[in-house]
Amino acid sequence: MGYEGFINQKIEEIKNKVGNGKAVVALSGGVDSSVVAVLAHRALGENLEAYFIDDYLRKKEEYEFVREIFARVGINVKLCDVKEEMLMALEGVSDNTEKRPIFRKVFYNTFGKLVQQSGAKCFLQGTNKADLVMFGKGQLQHNVGIPFEEYGIEKVIESLTELYKPQIREVARELGLPSSISERQPFPGPGLLIRCLGEVTREKLDLIREGLAIAEEELAYLNPFQVVVAISDEKVCSMRDRAEPNKYILIVRAVESKDAMTARAIVPSQGLKAKLEERFMSISDKVGRVIWDTTDKPPATIEYI
Ligand code: XMP
């Protein structure tokens, strides 16, 4: 029970900063934002508004999962649907370096509006220490270095900036969150976006969303730190259609890691490889081949962009 003091201190801090007003929390279903939501709920009760943003970049059936888990602890998670807005903002953008800033703008604009609409004083998010460290090393992070005032957000509370993920998992356990949250694999804020190479389309996002659900299911027994499914921009031939190179390449990657700073890629057995290929090819006839990425970090990163 090593985090009781931390939990009480953060609850007090949230109470003091928000006062009698309302606050909005960005709840994605990851362990970080889940912990922040529970701390804030304990501090503010009904004065907390929790939102899940559906921007077409989330995992399969993610809102349903989040809503159900948090309903059990008395948090009513509202859905904010910005799918069309996000897809439109990303339309025609194939330069991978332009994607995070576009995502960031739509994401924080949305929260800016939610904060203002609800008359909230504060915005809470689950930025952790690794996000700050990685940002300091020059790695782009969607949630660090945000000009919040430009989005109409006056006060921001980030309760977890002193902790790394393994410690946040400890806090989650101590708060009584279920293991489906406390032990959850990390999933990046920009979601499927940073796994979609080249132009971002509905079709490509659908393929990786489905692929990720399959890969997570098939690889669960290996207890990986993180599973990633990415998609190519270029198209290739397959035996089903030799004449025209019109199929996508899905890329699968599973890594073991403690803290995401370094990672060892899992090399699949022949049986697992065959099973995954079969299931991936059955997602859609748009899938032409499946590639296992067994590059460690370093030299690679865990994500693609
Ligand atoms: P990389 O790809 O740098 O990822 O090896 C390390 C860890 O960070 C996650 N990641 C992100 N998380 N916003 C996030 O919230 C981001 O922009 C972002 N980029 C990478 C990644 O999933 C991995 O766990």
Quote the ligand 1 centre to 141 CA distance (angstroms). Answer: 7
Residue 1: predicted pLDDT: 59
- Which residue puts its alpha carbon closest to atom 11 of ligand 1? 188
Q: How far out from the chain centre does Cα 121 lie? A: 25
Burial class of residue 144 (count of CB atoms within 10 Å of its CB; 0-12, 13-18, 19+): middle
**What's the start-to-end Cα distance of the chain, in Å?**
38
Angle (CA) 29-210-273 rounded to 5° is 110
Quote the ligand 1 centre to 145 CA distance (angstroms). Answer: 15
pTM: 0.94
Residue 244: predicted pLDDT: 86
Q: In ligand 1, which atom is closest to the CA atom of 304?
A: 2
For residue 51, the tally of other CB atoms under 10 A from its CB is 20
- Which residue puts its alpha carbon closest to atom 14 of ligand 1? 188
Q: Which residues line ligand 1 (CB under 6 A)?
A: 139, 141-143, 186, 188-190, 194, 226, 260, 297, 301-303
3-class secondary structure, 234: coil
Q: In ligand 1, which atom is closest to the CA atom of 225?
A: 24
Q: Give the residue, out of 31, 103, 140, 302, with the most ligand 1 atoms within 8 A of its beta carbon, to mutate for a pocket test.
A: 302
Q: Answer whether 149's CB lies under 8 Å from 115's CB.
A: no
Residue 139: predicted pLDDT: 78
Quote the ligand 1 centre to 189 CA distance (angstroms). Answer: 8
Give the model confidence (pLDDT) of 143-175 as tens digits: 898 889 989 899 999 999 999 999 999 999 999
Quote the ligand 1 centre to 261 CA distance (angstroms). Answer: 10
- Each residue's pLDDT expressed in tens, for the chain with a length of 305 residues: 599 999 999 999 999 999 999 999 999 999 999 999 999 999 999 999 999 999 999 999 999 999 999 999 999 999 999 999 999 999 999 999 999 999 999 999 999 999 999 999 899 999 999 899 988 888 778 889 888 998 989 999 999 999 999 999 999 999 999 999 999 999 999 999 999 999 999 999 999 999 999 999 999 999 999 999 999 999 999 887 778 899 999 999 999 999 888 999 999 999 999 999 999 999 999 999 999 999 999 999 999 99
Q: Answer whether 98's CB lies under 8 Å from 90's CB.
A: no
Burial class of residue 244 (count of CB atoms within 10 Å of its CB; 0-12, 13-18, 19+): exposed
Residue 192: predicted pLDDT: 98
Quote the ligand 1 centre to 102 CA distance (angstroms). Answer: 17
> Cβ neighbours of residue 255 under 8 Å, at least 6 residues apart?
224, 225, 226, 228, 263, 264, 265, 266, 296, 297, 302
Quote the ligand 1 centre to 303 CA distance (angstroms). Answer: 6
Q: In ligand 1, which atom is closest to the CA atom of 300?
A: 5
Q: Answer whether 251's CB lies under 8 Å from 231's CB.
A: yes
> Cβ neighbours of residue 296 under 8 Å, at least 6 residues apart?
255, 262, 263, 264, 265
> What is the residue type of 8?
N
Quote the ligand 1 centre to 244 CA distance (angstroms). Answer: 35
3-class secondary structure, 288: strand
Quote the ligand 1 centre to 73 CA distance (angstroms). Answer: 28
- Which residue puts its alpha carbon closest to atom 3 of ligand 1? 301
Q: How far apart are CA 185 and CA 188, in angstroms?
A: 10
Quote the ligand 1 centre to 16 CA distance (angstroms). Answer: 31
Q: Give the residue, out of 100, 142, 303, 305, with the most ligand 1 atoms within 8 A of its beta carbon, to mutate for a pocket test.
A: 303
